[in-house]
Chains A and B, each alone.
Chain A
Amino acid sequence: MARVTLSGRPPGPIELLGLSALGTVAFFGGWQLLAASGAVSPQTLPTPDAVLATAWRMLMEPFAGHTLPEHLLASLGRFALGFGLAALAGVPLGLAMGRWRLLDDIVSPIFEALRFVAPLAWVPFAALWFGTGIGGPVMVIFAGAFPPCLINAYRGARLVETRLVEAAQTLGAGGLRIMAEVLLPGALPSIVAGLRVSAGLAWQSLIGAELIVASAGIGYLMVQGQSNLAPAIVMAGMLAVGLVGLLIDVALRRIERWVRARWGETP
């Protein structure tokens, strides 16, 4: 079904920019009006400019032991580690399951059950097993990021044409080489799409994990802001989370597009 647009045609770049600006202005304008009207106290809802000012100040001034960039860096480090581990484990396992039915039959039931356990539900065990520094949050991120890595690698591998695998076999390729040189490149568009979903989930799980376990990081900063009755700090943290999440997604979207252009065009 064709979607309704302003002019009846898909919006051009300028129209699109205008519409995005409209949404942004309406959101911040409404927020500003609500906060400045006095209907809610600034202790409940700080104004946008107060949040921005707080965020700006925290670029230099430490809060809860670190400045905003330092908290962000701590979060990003955990994110990279958890996401990286999930990709390193999930992609090869997914490919192998796509190749060997036996492995698929062994792993699938337990995986299908575990993947519905929300990443945050791992927090108690994560804290117990790996502590509240790096290990605990990394395990929670891993729990969030792992399923899409595995599922997309698996689906991608299943879609690789049988004759390519057979051609490789008849040319003398062993199991590992078939995985690395046939299944991996064949499944790459699907894998990259999975990595993008996975990164989003990883970033979300991370903040959740840091709300509970951590001694630095954006989530930790937000919890500290809450207990100090400083809602502007909490919102500054949310702002940072949103922006960085957006940046991660934009970066992966670009990679995904590049991979599709490079690998997607099979005859």
Chain B
Amino acid sequence: MKDIRFEGVGKAFPTRQGGEFVALRDITLTVAEREFVAVVGPSGSGKTTLMRMAAGLDHPTHGTVRVGGREVTGPGPDRAVVFQQFALFPWKTVRENIAFGLRCKGTPRARQEEVVARYLRLMSMEGTEDRFPHQLSGGMQQRVAIARSYAIEPDVLLMDEPFGALDAQTRTVMQEELIRLSRHEPRTVLFITHAVEEAVYLADRVVVLARNPGRLREIVDIRPTREAEDWSARPIDEVMDLPSFNHLRTHVWRLLRDQIRPDD
């Protein structure tokens, strides 16, 4: 099973005053195999911490995170991460960046070339393989980062606000591309974002977090509507015009707004 299971997960940091700051409390959540789950929450609700614990880059102080049944103890290529700031290796070309994880695995060279070519095609960026990241636009860089993560065929994909650094237009294009990619290659995805629209458009389920301390507020099921109206096959602007989409978006948005008190 290529699923992600948070079992009573909590994360607390000691504060300088000798107290404890609770970033996340008692999160129990399962992302099923091939399910796309988006996590939204106000800043300070611990959504990035949640993702980093699944990646093994942070460690829970309570409970356990399991991926594919195995307890997460550190980072590993079964859980690829797409970072907000792309995190491409600036001294490596597009080809070398995408192939990096494959080289770590010891994949034969010919096979590496095949995989790189395949993702360049899927992400419509043929002809850029010998460029360096700084020669690409932000959108193109994030495509490379996504291709680099998909290329190692991880059990699960963890995305930390991957489109957060992009301009609005590029962002829309990338959302569409990601839907297309997920149709070609369905994977288990945990997607962190603060954009409600993006979450509703991309996900099967949207997890809404509350803050102080970070905890589960509600899980909104998008999938029945998505499948009934076949969102994945339609252009993004059309989907975002649907009454059902607007209804879900408003629902999630209200859940978030209720937490934002005037003293914030």
Q: How far is the CA of A91 from the CA of B91 in the complex (A)?
A: 19
Q: Give, as a whole number of angstroms, the nearest-CB distance from A106 to chain B.
A: 22
Q: Which residues from 2 to 52 on chain B have a C-beta closer than 8 Å to any C-beta of chain A?
A: none
The stretch among A57-65, A123-131, A169-177, A192-200 that forms the contact with chain B is: A169-177
In the complex the two chains form, is B80's CB within 8 Å of A171's CB?
A: yes
Q: A166-B75, A263-B91, A265-B134 are in contact. Are A171 and B101 (CB under 8 A)?
A: yes
With A166-B81, A170-B76, A171-B152 known to touch, is A267 a contact of B134 (CB < 8 Å)? Answer: yes
Bound CA span A174–B104, Å: 8
Q: Which of B62-70, B82-90, B197-205, B251-259 has 4 or more CB atoms under 8 Å from chain A?
A: B82-90
A167, B152: Cβ atoms under 8 Å? no
Q: Does B215 contact A (CB under 8 A)?
A: no
Q: Which of A131-178 contact B (CB under 8 A)?
A: 161, 163-164, 166-174, 177
Q: A7 at the A/B interface (Cβ < 8 Å)?
A: no
Instruction: Judge whether A172 and B87 touch: CB under 8 Å.
Output: no
Q: How far is the CA of A185 from the CA of B101 in the complex (A)?
A: 17
Interface flags for B83-112 (1: CB within 8 Å of A; 0: not) read 101011111000000001100110000000
Q: How large is the interface on A (under 10, 10 to 19, 20 to 34, 35 or more residues)?
A: 20 to 34
Q: Does B77 contact A (CB under 8 A)?
A: yes
Contacts of B80 in A (CB 8 A): 170-171
Instruction: Compute how far the CA of A266 lies from the CA of B141 in the bound complex, rounded to whole angstroms.
Output: 13
Give the docked Cα–Cα distance between A185 and B100 (Å). Answer: 15
Structural contact, B100 and A170, CB atoms closer than 8 A? no
Residues 176-197 of A contacting B (Cβ, < 8 Å): 177, 181-182, 185-186, 188
The answer for the CA separation of A177 and B57 in the assembled complex, in Å, is 18
Q: Can you report 6 A-B residue pairs in the complex whose CB atoms are below 8 A from each other?
A: A163-B87, A168-B89, A168-B100, A169-B75, A170-B77, A172-B101
